[in-house]
Chain A
Amino acid sequence: MSKRRVIPGFGLSLGFTITYLSLIILIPLAALFLKAGGAGWDEWAGLLTSPRVLAAAKLTFGASAAAAGVSVVFGLLVTWVLVRYEFPGRRLLDAMVDLPFALPTAVAGITLCAIYAPNGWVGEWLAKWGIQAAYNWTGVFIALTFIGFPFVVRTLQPVMEDLGREIEEAAATLGANRWQVFSRVVLPLLVPALITGFTLAFARAIGEYGSVIFISGNLPMKTEILPLLIVAQLEQFRYEGAAVIAAAMLIISFLLLFLINLLQRRLDWQNR
């Protein structure tokens, strides 16, 4: 087959892309896996089954899944309201949804602390009811929800805008009531986007660091997240240990993303 191309610049742009990608991303990640691979089975097993790592993994994955789940529920509601209804301040709120993307995580971290700590704006009020919303699981969960829910809104929004009223009108003329239209016609069409939104929020939450460490309290065995354990290993110059935890996190993240990608392709295919 002929290698000639009509639009110029292919060799240059692809060459630069691959070189840069390799230098900045691929080689460093390969170095990480090499280091982790060199650690040996005992180190892996010993580290990954240590109670502190297991507790951190349970917290990280559990709170991330819960936060992504809540993000899906509120993300769906918020998107619906922003797309379907007209009310004062709608455009401003729509623009503000991206705030967690744009606000540096350290700022988010200290601010959420100021709000949810026992002496904070909302925390004080919650404390009266005996609810503690910082320095525990709830604190981690709140930070991860803050970080995660814009992903759901921004994945869902274009799909919902493109939905068109026709299929809803069709369902209504066939006698479905509003709830039936939503649950049996609209919602199934949104499921692939909801899954993508969940995945993005979940993946981001697993790795999140800056917004969590201030509000989590970082108590070993209780409120330590996995990225913090990597930092702890590094502070003791235990490079292999850090690499092992990091490699395990990456493998799990990639696998999850891959599986959900597969699931989504099947759903997309069915909806066609």
Chain B
Amino acid sequence: MSVRNVTTESAPIRAVLITVAVGFLTLFLLMPLFAVFIEALRRGWEVFLASLYEDAAWSAVKLTLLTAAIAVPLNTLFGIAAAWAVTKHRFKGRALLLSLIDLPFAVSPVIAGLVWVLLFGAKGWFGPWLAEHDIKIIFAVPGIVIATVFITFPFVARELIPLMESQGTDQEEAAVTLGARGWQIFRRVTLPNIKWGLLYGVLLCNARAMGEFGAVSVVSGHIRGQTNTLPLHIEVLYNEYQFSAAFACATLLAFLALFTLGMKSVVEHFSGHVGKGH
């Protein structure tokens, strides 16, 4: 018997553990990922491309992009403001604010859609008033946007808060003693230190905004070519038994997911170099 390091397991046990873990990950992660692409191409390239060129698919893509283009900048602005207030200052109620920022994580997507229906739906608080003025929010694009804003609300903030907390306030204070003013401090001292974390937060927020299903499904009304985002379009196709078309559209979102994961590795690589300065 050979003597081995006291802090590791024997080779056979290691092999078993690695096999089980890799098997589990293959079954649960890799197989679904491959399945998306294989199912999409099951009936050939022509069907695949035709499903993507279809009008309904195009309008779904456009609506998805529009939704993300509104929700992501709003929540990015919020994330930066919230992280600045919470990490660079101490005040009463800070802990409460931190838990409130996390609140949407504990809310079901369906409920995130429901709250807007209760406010703006036909029988909601503002429903009659909106009907009188001929403004449509629920079963229309504005509803999809606000439901997405709710769902993606904490993503940038959650990425920035721990990062900025760990960086402390030394550098900002140094900038203050050197005469820098508000915006200068943020742009020239804070932003360069958080840019990678911010980028990843924005990407996560974007991935969720483009992929959100439950919340959007509640407020959309599934009007084909008008209020279907890409995930909703996939659902409609699937329920109509157009499986290959559904998976063809799903590949777009799967690529988005892979891109987001890839960017995470890139960001970790760079922030690892930048962050180890002191």
Chain A interface residues toward B at CB < 8 A: 5-10, 12-14, 16-18, 20-21, 24-26, 28-29, 31-32, 35, 74, 77-78, 80-82, 84-85, 87, 89, 93, 95-112, 114-115, 121-122, 145-146, 149, 165, 168-169, 172-173, 178, 203-204, 206-210, 214, 226-228, 230-231, 234, 237, 239, 242-243, 246, 249-250, 253-254, 257
B202 within 8 A of A: no
Shortest Cβ gap from B57 to chain A (Å): 14
Let me know if B140 is at the binding interface, CB within 8 A: no
Task: Give A110 to B63 CA distance when docked, in angstroms.
Answer: 21
- In the complex, what residues of A have CB within 8 A of residue B104's CB? 25
Contact of A7 among B10, B125, B185, B217 (CB under 8 A): B185
Judged by a CB distance under 8 angstroms, whether B110 is at the interface is yes
Interface flags for B79-111 (1: CB within 8 Å of A; 0: not) read 011101110110100000100110111111111
* Given known A168-B6, A169-B7, contact A107–B250 (CB-CB < 8 A): yes
Asked if residues A81 and B17 are in contact (CB atoms below 8 Å), the reply is yes
Find out whether the CB atom of A209 lies under 8 angstroms from the CB atom of B150.
no
Given contacts A32-B115, A103-B211, contact A230 B32 (CB under 8 A): no
B22 touches A93 (CB 8 A): yes
Interface of B is mostly: helix
Q: A104 contacts which of B149, B153, B212, B262 (Cβ < 8 Å)?
A: B212
B143 close to chain A: CB less than 8 A: no
Bound form: Cα–Cα A21–B84 in Å: 15
- Encode contact with A along B55-86: 1 for CB under 8 Å, 0 otherwise: 00000000000000000001001101110111
A14-B89, A17-B97 given. 4 additional CB < 8 A pairs? A7-B89, A13-B84, A207-B107, A249-B111
Most buried by B among A7, A18, A178, A253: A7
B196: Cβ under 8 A from any A Cβ: no
Taking the complex as formed, is B253 at the interface, i.e. its CB lies under 8 A from any CB of chain A? yes
Shortest B78–chain A CB gap in Å is 5
Within 8 Å CB of A8, what residues of B? Answer: 176, 181-182, 185
Task: Give the nearest-CB partner of A206 in chain B.
Answer: B108
B28, A29: Cβ atoms closer than 8 Å:
no
Q: Is B231 at the interface (CB under 8 A from chain A)?
A: yes
Distance A185 CA – B129 CA, assembled complex (angstroms): 64
Which of A5, A24, A102 counts the most chain B CB atoms within 10 A?
A102
The smallest C-beta distance from B93 to any residue of chain A, in angstroms, reads 9
Within 8 Å CB of A10, what residues of B? 85, 88-89, 91
Partner of B246, one of A100, A110, A208: A110
CA distance A144 to B104 in the complex (A): 19
Say yes or no: is B163 at the interface (Cβ < 8 Å to chain A). Answer: no
A-B contact pairs, 6 of them (CB 8 A): A25-B150, A26-B100, A95-B262, A104-B207, A107-B231, A208-B109
Q: Are A227 and B214 in contact (CB under 8 A)?
A: yes
What is the chain A residue whose CB lies nearest that of B31?
A: A115
Chain B contacts with A in 1-27, Cβ cutoff 8 A? 6-10, 14, 17-18, 20-22, 24-25, 27
B110-A99 in contact (CB<8A): no
- Give Cα A7 to B90, complex, Å: 11
Write out the residue numbers on chain B whose beta carbons fall within 8 Å of the beta carbon of A28: 115-116, 118-119, 150
Q: Report the separation of the CA atoms of residues A106 and B22 in the bound assembly, to the nearest whole angstrom.
A: 25
Name the residue on B nearest A120 (C-beta): B35
Determine if A32 and B210 form an interchain contact, defined as CB atoms under 8 angstroms apart.
Answer: no
Are A234 and B89 closer than 8 Å at their CB atoms?
no
B8 lies within 8 A of A106 (CB): no
Q: Are A9 and B182 in contact (CB under 8 A)?
A: yes
Complex contact B7–A172 (CB within 8 A): yes
CA distance A269 to B226 in the complex (A): 54
Known: A13-B85, A110-B247. A35 touches B118 (CB 8 A): yes
* Assembled-state Cα–Cα distance A249/B109 (Å): 12
**Cross-chain contact B234 with A107 (CB below 8 angstroms):** yes
